């Protein structure tokens, strides 16, 4: 029984990394954010005033990456469902996904303003 669960967990990890790889390959915004990650981490380590600030700032950046992954998934499913045709609900889904990414970025920036400056 426990062996089956480890196999399931291993498969889940493989699928997760596949999602990261496919997002890297297909989503320019995700690539940009991943490339900015070392700069964000180093800057955060340098400028954070406490360990709590460090955790908050790095967590908010991680949420940006997560929001981008979810946005990429929304866009892929929407494109599949519409077959490349325009549909108002597809636009709504994509715009809401994009708004989630923008919201995460704004929370990250606001956290920096409050905790660092």
Catalytic center residues: 68
User: CB neighbours (10 Å) of residue 42?
Assistant: 10
Cα–Cα–Cα angle for 96, 72, 20, nearest 5°?
A: 145
Report yes or no: 73 and 100 within 8 Å, Cβ to Cβ: no
């Amino acid at each position: 029984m426990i062996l089956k669960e480890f196999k399931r967990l291993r498969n889940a990890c493989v699928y997760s990394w596949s999602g990261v790889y496919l997002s890297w390959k297909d989503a320019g915004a995700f690539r940009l954010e991943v490339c900015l990650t070392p700069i964000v981490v180093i800057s955060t380590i340098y400028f954070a005033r406490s360990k709590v600030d460090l955790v908050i700032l790095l967590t908010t950046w991680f949420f940006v990456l997560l929001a981008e992954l979810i946005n990429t998934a929304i866009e892929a499913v929407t494109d599949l469902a519409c077959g490349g045709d325009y549909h108002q609900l597809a636009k709504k889904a994509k715009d809401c996904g994009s708004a989630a990414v923008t919201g995460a970025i704004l929370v990250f920036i606001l956290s920096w303003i409050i905790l660092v400056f």
